[in-house]
């Protein structure tokens, strides 16, 4: 083989450049920070296990697990594109790939489209109702990043986006979206507003300077109290599930663990320190895991 051939040299150059730039695109899609995937994954798995009353079909489990990763990454990409003129002024985000110049806006849009198309190919393997519902998922993912410019409740839109996998999971597994699916969806929206407010508390000072909106700014000094109320409403909504689905003692244990975790989050944010608020946000991964374990074990 002639390694000095111009075509080989050109291909080698492109592959080398792709290897060098891969970490930038991985960072843009937040694949190096899986917390967002996990916060999407747990509620969708709640729904799959509840819809199937046990282990769901392996096809649906694979489709939704991969789809969550793809759509969360797509959401992060379009979010950074929307905030490309803002992130450079925020301490936590100024070194992201777009504001730092490592990835262009055009490249980000191309990546968003590619990730969305791959997710669509997965959804096309499900039934008609699920395919129709997927349009809502794409719409929510695309519009959420721009909401902070118009409303103090972008966290509510994020909650709808993060919870839309719930009706889709029921549709894929059962062919319908029953009342319990919307109850679970509502619980997830409230939970998302609570934990994303904690996240927004980290950037509150920078957001005020830039004129963007969030629940953390809206709640102001009442932030900890309102987050606590939202956490309580989340638990109450999850408790109501037992009125619709026969769940065993392990589910109540999962709820008790969630109570303890929410209490811990309230404790560590008592002084509103940025690092503490971020740790409290991350802690919600264990809340989702505890609820999932309670549901899954109930069907064994």
Cα within 13 Å of Cα(89), Cβ side: 13
Angle separating helix axes 274-298 and 249-268, nearest 10 degrees: 180
pLDDT in tens, 271-298: 999 999 999 999 999 999 999 999 999 9
- Dump the DSSP string for 152-166: S-HHHHHHHHHHTHH
Q: How confident is the model at residue 3 (pLDDT cuts 50, 70, 90)?
A: very low
Comparing 116 with 255, the larger pLDDT belongs to 255
The span from the CA of 245 to the CA of 229, in Å, is: 25
Contact between 49 and 292 under an 8 Å Cβ cutoff? The reply is yes
The span from the CA of 158 to the CA of 187, in Å, is: 13
The span from the CA of 166 to the CA of 294, in Å, is: 17
pLDDT in tens, 117-140: 999 899 999 999 999 999 888 888
The span from the CA of 174 to the CA of 192, in Å, is: 25
The span from the CA of 147 to the CA of 157, in Å, is: 8
Say if residue 15's pLDDT is above 90.
no
Spatial neighbors of 56 by CB under 8 A, at least 6 apart, are: 48, 49, 169, 173
pLDDT in tens, 172-227: 999 999 999 999 999 999 999 999 999 999 988 888 888 889 999 999 999 999 99
Q: What is the pTM of this model?
A: 0.88
The span from the CA of 156 to the CA of 147, in Å, is: 10
Say if residue 8's pLDDT is above 80.
no
Mean pLDDT of the chain: 88
For the chain, domains (ranges, CATH) are: 20-298 (1.10.357.140)
Say if residue 14's pLDDT is above 50.
no
CA 264 and chain centroid, separation? 22
Spatial neighbors of 69 by CB under 8 A, at least 6 apart, are: 37
- Dump the DSSP string for 36-90: HHHHHHHHHHHHHHHHHTSS--HHHHHHHHHHHHHHHHHHHHHHHHHTTTTGGGS
Spatial neighbors of 173 by CB under 8 A, at least 6 apart, are: 48, 51, 52, 56, 57, 60
Measure Cα distances from 161 to 35, 166, 248 in Å.
16, 10, 29
pLDDT in tens, 227-248: 999 999 999 999 999 888 889 9
| Conformational region of residue 36, where left means phi above 0, alpha means psi within -120 to 50, and beta covers everything else | alpha
Start-to-end Cα distance in the chain: 59
């Amino acid at each position: 083989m002639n390694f000095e051939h111009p075509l080989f040299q050109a291909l080698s150059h492109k592959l080398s450049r792709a290897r060098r730039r891969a970490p930038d695109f991985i960072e843009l899609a937040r694949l190096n920070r899986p917390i967002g995937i996990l916060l999407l994954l747990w509620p969708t798995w709640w729904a799959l296990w509840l819809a199937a009353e046990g282990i769901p079909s392996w096809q649906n489990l694979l489709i939704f697990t991969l789809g969550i990763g793809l759509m969360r990454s797509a959401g992060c990409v379009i979010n950074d594109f929307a905030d490309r003129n803002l992130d450079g002024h925020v301490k936590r985000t100024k070194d992201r790939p777009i504001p730092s110049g490592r990835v262009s806006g055009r490249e980000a849009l191309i990546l968003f489209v590619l990730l969305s198309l791959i997710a669509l190919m997965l959804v096309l393997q499900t039934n008609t109702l699920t395919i129709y519902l997927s349009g809502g998922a794409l719409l929510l993912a695309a519009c959420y990043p721009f909401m902070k410019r118009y409303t103090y409740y972008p966290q509510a839109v994020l909650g709808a986006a993060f919870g839309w996998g719930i009706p889709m999971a029921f549709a894929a597994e059962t062919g319908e979206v029953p009342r319990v699916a919307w109850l679970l969806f509502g619980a997830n929206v409230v939970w998302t507003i609570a934990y994303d407010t904690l996240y927004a508390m980290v950037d509150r000072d920078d957001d005020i300077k830039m004129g963007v909106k969030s629940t953390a700014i809206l709640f102001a000094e009442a932030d900890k109290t309102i987050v606590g109320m939202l956490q309580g409403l989340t638990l109450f909504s999850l408790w109501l599930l037992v009125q619709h689905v026969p769940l065993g003692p392990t589910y109540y244990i999962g709820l008790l663990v969630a109570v303890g975790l929410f209490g811990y989050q309230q404790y560590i944010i008592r002084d509103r320190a940025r690092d503490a608020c971020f740790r409290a946000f991350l802690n919600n991964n264990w809340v989702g895991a505890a609820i999932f374990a309670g549901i899954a074990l109930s069907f064994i």
